[in-house]
Amino acid sequence: MALDKGFPFPLNSRTILVTGAASGIGRAAVLMALAGGAKVAAVDIDEPLLASLREEANADDEHLHTTAMDVTDIKTVPVVLGEIEQRLGVIDGLVCSAGVTFESPVLEITPGLWDRVIQLNLSGTFFVVQAVLRSLIAAELPGSIVTISSALGVSGRVNGTHYSASKAGVIGLTRSLALEVASKGIRVNCVAPGGVETPLMQRVLEANPTAAAQGLARIPLGRFGQPDDLASTICFLLSDLSGWTTGQTLHVNGGSLLM
């Protein structure tokens, strides 16, 4: 996405970290934040996809830094964030987009599978936020944090108990964080997507081929979302245009929860 004079979300004062940045919503958020003038650190476990993101973005090293990071490795996260801040400055914008899901009937969810989904979607979000908050509060700077939940964190889903539980947890986490850090000038909001055409969604549809038609029938606006639909909401929340918004969950789903 190329920046033009009419870009609605000015982010030129922000240093933004995006997790799960190599694909889907995270990738779109990186590209849109760069278009808004931000300095962006894009982290993911998929290094080849990160390399393709850098090529697509065509941004200089002063505006885009890509590096591998596993959000569940709580010992490594602060180290990587410290390296990012040495390059780009204190992180004052965060998008927690790293996530995973698996189709699994409730009686087939093993402790290992449960732990993997909860650790990545919920614990990974928390510990990255915690590390960013440490730097922001120490620097006495305001900031904006955006977590990513899901419509399924509200509605639930058959064969997705672990995923829905993790995403419901993100909503509660967001509210509590917003209350705790508001006095520091730090805002925390959540975006809850509906059905968005990402690689993650594609894997779900491949496991359940009838789900696409069923899902589309439940969307009043008549189409699945695109990553840019979510990226624009994320960039709004990162920008000063949402300066009096905190503790909120924005449901971006084409109206599917109305059904």
In a domain, 5, yes or no: no
101 domain-assigned:
yes
Q: Is residue 125 part of a domain?
A: yes
User: Which pLDDT tens digit goes with each residue over 223-237?
Assistant: 999 999 999 999 999
Q: Is 190 a catalytic residue?
A: no
For residue 121, being part of any structural domain is answered with yes
Number of domains in the chain: 1
**16, 175, 198, 246: which is closest to 99 by C-alpha?**
198
pLDDT tens digits for 198-217? 877 777 777 777 777 888 88
User: For residue 89, how far is the Cα from the chain centroid?
Assistant: 21
pLDDT value of position 5: 44
| Whole-angstrom distance, CA of residue 65 vs CA of residue 62 | 8
Q: What is the CATH number of the domain that holds 28?
A: 3.40.50.720
> Dmax over Cα atoms in the chain, in whole Å?
54
Task: Identify the pLDDT of residue 2.
Answer: 43
* 213 within some domain: yes
Residue whose token pair is 């290992």: 112
Q: What is the pLDDT of residues 126-151, one digit of tens each?
A: 999 999 999 999 999 999 999 999 99
Q: Give the residue ranges of DSSP H helices in the chain.
A: 24-35, 47-57, 76-88, 111-118, 124-139, 152-155, 161-181, 199-207, 211-217, 227-238
- Domain assignment present for residue 7? The answer is no
What was the pLDDT predicted at 3?
A: 43
Residue 223, in any domain of the structure: yes
Supply the pLDDT for residue 249: 98
Q: Is the pLDDT of residue 7 over 70?
A: no
Question: What would the mean pLDDT of 72-89 be, rounded to a whole number?
Answer: 97
Question: Which of 94, 163, 173, 253 does the annotation list as catalytic?
Answer: 163
Structural domain that includes position 216: 15-250
The reply to whether 93 falls in a domain is: yes
Sequence-distant (≥ 6) Cβ neighbours of residue 73 within 8 angstroms? none
